[in-house]
Amino acid sequence: MEPIQLRQDEFASVINLSECSLSKPQLRVLSKGLNFTPLPSSVDRFSLRESVANFERSLRLTEFFHDSKETDNSDYDSKLIKFRAKSSWTPPANRDKYLDSFISVVTSEIMSAPEHKAFGNLSSDEHRAMRDLKYNFNVVIRQADKGSAVVIMDRCRYIQEGYRLLNDTSVYQRTEATTINDIERDIRQLADRLHDDDVITDDMHQYAIREGTRPARFYLLPKVHKKGYQVDPLFLPAALLRKDYRRL
C-alpha cells in the first residue's frame, strides 16, 4: 500500500489520490458529498404535474381497493406479483365525490401556485467547479467504502487496478463469452415452456420475456487507510440477474 496524506483542514473528507490539482471551489463541492443535490433555479412544471398525477393515482387506488378482502392465497399472490410488469392503470373518477373534490382542489392549488425565486445552494464558482469535475474524464470520483469520504483517482490507474483484479485467476475464472441475446433467448424458451404448461400467467410470461437488458457493471470501491489505500471490486447486477429473476 502506498502512504497517503489525509487533509487536516475543512476539506478532510476529500481524498485526492490523482495527479489532478483541485481548486478551492472544487474542494468545497466535493466536501458536500456525493449525495448532495444542487437546487434547480426554477420549478420543473412537467415533473411537478407528473408528481401530482402519481399522488392522484395513489389516492384513487386506495379508494378503489379499500373494501377488498384478503383471500387464503393472498400471500401466494403477493409473492407472484413481483413477476408482473408494473401496472399504470388508474381507477376512473366519479366514484367518490368527496375524493374528486379533494383531488381537484389540491391539483388546482399546486399547479396555480406562483413561482418564487429559487435561491441556489451553490455559488457561481462552485457551479463552474462542479461542471469542470463532471467533464474531467481523466479522473474517477467514488465514495469510500466506509464513512462519507470522497476519493478522486486517476482514471488510467483505476482501469489498471480493475484489470489487475480481474486477471487474478485465484479469484476469477474466465468463461466463454455469452451474449445478452443468448441469455434472453434461453429465458424466453423457458418462459414459453412454463406458459404453455400453465405454470405462469400471461402477465408473468410477458414480464419474463422483456428485452433491452444491460450487462452487469464492474466498478471499484476505494478503501482508504492512513497508511495507504486499496480497492474492492463490486458488480452492479444486470437486469436479467435481478433478485426477482433469481427466484424463478
Exposed (0-12), middle (13-18) or buried (19+): which is 18, by Cβ within 10 Å? Answer: buried
pLDDT at 243: 44
Residue 197 pLDDT:
92
pLDDT at 11: 86
Task: List per-residue pLDDT tens for the chain, 248 residues long.
Answer: 555 566 667 788 899 999 999 999 999 999 999 999 998 878 888 999 999 999 999 999 999 988 876 555 455 455 555 667 777 889 999 999 999 999 999 999 999 988 877 788 999 999 999 999 999 999 999 998 877 889 999 999 999 999 999 999 998 888 776 777 787 888 889 999 999 998 888 888 888 887 666 677 888 988 876 566 688 888 776 554 444 444 44
Percent of the chain with pLDDT over 70: 81
Query: Which residues, in sequence order, are CB contacts of 41 under 8 Å at separation 6+?
Result: 118, 120
Predicted TM-score (pTM) of the model is: 0.68
Number of H helices, E strands in the chain: 9, 5
pLDDT score at 102: 97
> CA neighbours within 13 Å on the CB side: how many for 31?
16
pLDDT at 241: 45
What is the rounded (10 degree) CA torsion for 8, 12, 14, 18? 20
The residue written with cell numbers 406562483 in the block is 114
Strand ranges (DSSP E) for 83-161?
139-143, 150-154
Instruction: Kindly give the pairing relationship between strand 14-16 and strand 150-154.
Output: parallel
- Three-state SS for 228? strand
E strand intervals along 103-143: 139-143
The pLDDT value given to residue 74: 52
Q: Is the separation of the CB atoms in 213 and 207 below 8 Å?
A: no
Cα–Cα distance, 235 to 248 (Å, whole number): 21
Any residues with CB less than 8 A from the CB of 229 and at least 6 apart, and which? 1, 2, 4, 15, 17, 151, 222, 223
pLDDT in tens, 147-203: 788 999 999 999 999 999 999 999 888 877 677 778 788 888 999 999 999 888 888
Q: How far is CA 56 from CA 60, 69, 95, 106, 184, in A?
A: 6, 23, 13, 9, 36
Instruction: Please give the grid coordinates belonging to residue 236.
Output: 452492479
